Every structure is written in C-alpha cells, then in structure tokens.
Amino acid sequence: MIFVYEPLCKGLSHEKVNSGFLYGLSLAFPGEKIRLYADQTHITAIQSILIHDDVKIDGLEFSPITFKNKRGLSEVFQRWWHLKNLFSTAKRGGIKKIFFLSFNAETLYVIKKLNTFFQLKFTFVLHGDFESVADWPPIKNPIVFPIKSFPVDPQAFNFFKKIKGSPKEIIKKIRARCSLLIQRHLTFNFSRHLFNLKKIIEYKSSPDFRYIVLSPHIYKNLDRFFDLSKIQFEVVTLPTKFRKVEPPPKNEYAKFAVFGHGDAVALLNIASLLLERSIEVPYEIRIIGMDNRAALCSPHITTTTKGIRLERSQMEELANDIDVFLILYDESKYRLSCSGSILEAMSLGKPVIHFNNMCLNEFNRKDSPIGYSCKSMNEFLDKMEYVIKNYASIQNELQIFRDNIYINRAKFSIESSVPKIKSSFAW
C-alpha cells in the first residue's frame, strides 16, 4: 500500500494536481492500493475531479484528517502528534515510504526530527513556497504597470454595511480585526525567519528524502541554490489529465480569456491600455474566475461570476468559445514553481499570449510554439491588437498553435511522466 499525505490543502486547493499525482502513482505502481490522508473537504474535491476527468483508480482509499493551517511553533506542535500517529500506523502496516503532496517548512522540520526514530523514506512535492529559497537579482527590464489602483464599483462590498451594531460594538469589531491582522503578520514573519525552507531542506539531508519539482525549468535553476550531490530532486511535469478538446471556435470576432486566478492588476493595465488604442473592431476579454476587480476598466471585459468560485465543468464550458488565453505573469513569477495556467490552456486546446517567463517558455517553445511570448507590455498589446484586427485572416496561424498543443500534450501527459513518478518513489 502507498500512503499519500496532504497536510495543507483544503477544499478545491490543488485538487487538479493532487488528483493527477494519485492517478500517476496508480499507473507507476499498478496493483498497489493507495490511501490518501487529507482534509474531508479536499477528499470531496478530489473525488469530484476524478469523476469529472473520468479517472478510475482501483484500490484508492480515503482517510480524513483534521488540521488547522498555522505557522511557527503552533504548527510544529500540531504536526508532531499528527505525523507521529501517521508514522506509527505506517510502521505497523509495513509501510516504509510516504508520499507528501505538499508541505511547509514546519512540517518538514517535524518529519526530519521524528524520522530519527521511525527510519522511513519520503517524497515531497514542491509548490509555490519553494520560491522563497531563492535570492534572485533584480530583473533588468521589468514589466511596468502604470495603473496601480482599481476603479470603485458602486455595487461592491461596503465595509460599513457589513459591520453592524452600536458604535461601541463597531469599534470593538474593528479593533479585533486589526489585532488579528497584526498577529498574522508577526506570526508569518517570525515563522519565515525561524523556519527557513531552504535551511530545513538542507538540514539532516539524506537519501531518505526526495523532492519533486513540477517543471524542467525549475531543475535547471536548482544548482544555483543547492548542492545537488547531497539533495535528490526529480522532475515530474505538473500532472494534468488533459480533457478531450472541443472543435476550434467559430466566432465573429476575437475572444480572449483569463482562466482561473490570473493577475487582476496586470489585466487592469492591459485592458485599459488596449482601450487607449481605439481599436474599432469588437473583441472580448472574458474573466473565467473569481477576481473581477478589473471588469470596470473596459467595456470589452465580461465576467462570469460575482466573486463565487465556479465548478470546473462550468469554467471549461465558459472557455469553449475562447480563441486565446491570456497568461499575465511577468518574468519575476514562477521561477522555482510551475503555473497551472499554461497546462490548463493545453488541456483546453487554447493558444496563449503571455509575458516572457521561465515557466511559460518551457511549454511554449520556439521550435513548437503554442502562442506568443512577449518581452514587454507594448509587445503584449501589439499581439492582442494583431489578433483582434486580423482575426479572420490568422485562423491558420492559430491552428498551427493548436496542432503544436496536441503534440505537446502527448509529451507532457501524466502517462509520459510515469517513469519519473516511479523513480521519485522507488529507491
């Protein structure tokens, strides 16, 4: 049996990638039962996405756990008892290895301390927190966002409407809220200083600990920060179960979309600056996600939700008639982590326009382009304007991008990652 542990995620957080790893493990170790330890809300999300992706994993078991995401010493004390019980269960069942879908510095510290007694082996998946190990030099030509603030929505949330009661009660609630924010800020800074992720990865380094990075570009950067002769890293491309691609859209004008979390400040700037170009033909920029703050800056922006998270099937349906996905992360983002946005675009068969970025360029390569990589704000706007004004005449160009997406889907599929998943957990 394979024990898989998710110590951080609740609800829909990471449900796509985690379900991908479960599927990948089932392919890498056929016949092995898999037991997932996770919060019940996350288990429900995993079950839902497996049904949605039509993935059946024989012998998959779920074991709900309860935890509060704290930081610092409180996290250490909580994890100590949770993990001690997990390791005891593993030893009794003859389990010698545990697969962690995520972790933070405090969790890893506890594991390394406890493992003095249990002598287990571990594989850890590295996510966004891994960015904290790097001290990068300033970017030479950063993307400049001239607009910093969002327009005021008259229908938006009103702070004073929510806080009801007498003046004394209102003051009390404001003080409590301020106290909570200060406490969170101090706790976060304290934990980042005391539990430094890079130092804890290096602490008691041993062959019993292996780490998975989610894109080849991350591995290329690792020797700048770690001694790779002492710490074992494996590359498993962010596991994505690619869905069946719908036929290309047949629109009267160009339709763009930001799919998922996105970057509201970047979208605000792009949509506003594009509006200044006085483009006379119609186009649409659709927000398929929760963050609608940029919507008021342009009549070309359409929204799909009022701050409510959509089900994945709803998001994918809203993307069916989209021509191009906009990915708005600049060069400073995703240097030691992997954005799911580019893989979502590949899953849905959508060409992309994005800023120059290590992660995105890894999947949008010059020898097999799936869209446009832009080194500046003006270049990004030029590409959007080019698609808008020449929409009818560039359909063959967009189809070339789609054809390359289909080729790359085979290269980056979960099935292609099975050997790496196996080697990351079999030693």
Together in a domain, 207 and 69: yes
Together in a domain, 268 and 347: yes
> Does 245 reside within a domain?
no
> Does 295 reside within a domain?
yes
Together in a domain, 216 and 321: no
Beta-carbon contacts of residue 110 (< 8 Å; ≥ 6 apart): 76, 79, 80, 83
Together in a domain, 19 and 100: yes
Together in a domain, 356 and 221: no
Beta-carbon contacts of residue 357 (< 8 Å; ≥ 6 apart): 327, 329, 330, 331, 333, 334, 339, 373
> Does 305 reside within a domain?
yes
Together in a domain, 407 and 419: no
Per-residue pLDDT tens digits of the chain, which is 427 residues long: 999 999 999 998 899 999 999 999 999 999 999 999 999 999 999 999 999 999 999 999 999 999 887 778 888 988 999 999 999 999 999 999 999 999 999 999 999 999 999 999 999 999 999 999 998 988 888 898 999 888 765 554 454 555 566 777 777 777 766 765 555 444 444 455 578 999 999 999 999 999 999 999 999 999 999 999 999 999 999 999 998 888 999 999 999 999 988 899 999 999 999 999 999 999 999 999 888 889 889 999 999 877 778 888 899 999 999 999 999 999 999 999 999 999 999 999 999 999 999 999 999 999 999 999 999 999 999 999 999 999 999 999 999 999 999 999 999 999 999 999 999 998 6
Place of tokens 């994993």: 57
Q: Quick one: 81 exposed, middle or buried, by C-beta within 10 A (0-12, 13-18, 19+)?
A: exposed
Q: How far apart are CA 362 and CA 111, in angstroms?
A: 33
State the CATH number of the domain containing residue 328: 3.40.50.2000
Together in a domain, 407 and 268: yes
Q: How far apart are CA 25 and CA 280, in angstroms?
A: 52
Total domains, the chain = 2
Together in a domain, 284 and 202: no
**Residue 4 contacts residue 22 (beta carbons within 8 Å):** yes
> Does 172 reside within a domain?
no
The first and second tokens of residue 321, run together, are: 């008639």
Together in a domain, 201 and 307: no
Which residue in 319, 320, 273 sits closest to 300, CA to CA? 273
Backbone angle region of 299, left / alpha / beta, with phi > 0 → left and psi within -120 to 50 → alpha:
alpha
> Does 176 reside within a domain?
no
Q: How far apart are CA 267 and CA 415, in angstroms?
A: 35
SS (H, E, C) 337-355: CCCHHHHHHHHHCCCEEEE
> Does 53 reside within a domain?
yes
The first and second tokens of residue 179, run together, are: 């106290």
Range of the domain at 40: 2-134+197-240+414-425
| Number of neighbouring beta carbons within 10 Å of residue 150 | 16
Together in a domain, 24 and 129: yes
Establish how many alpha carbons lie within 13 A of residue 368's alpha carbon, considering only the half-sphere containing its beta carbon.
12
Q: How far apart are CA 14 and CA 36, in angstroms?
A: 14
Q: How far apart are CA 400 and CA 248, in angstroms?
A: 12
Together in a domain, 344 and 284: yes
Q: Taking the model in full, what pTM does it have?
A: 0.87
> Does 170 reside within a domain?
no
> Does 339 reside within a domain?
yes
Q: What angle do CA 207, 2, 59 make, to 5 degrees?
A: 160
Together in a domain, 213 and 315: no
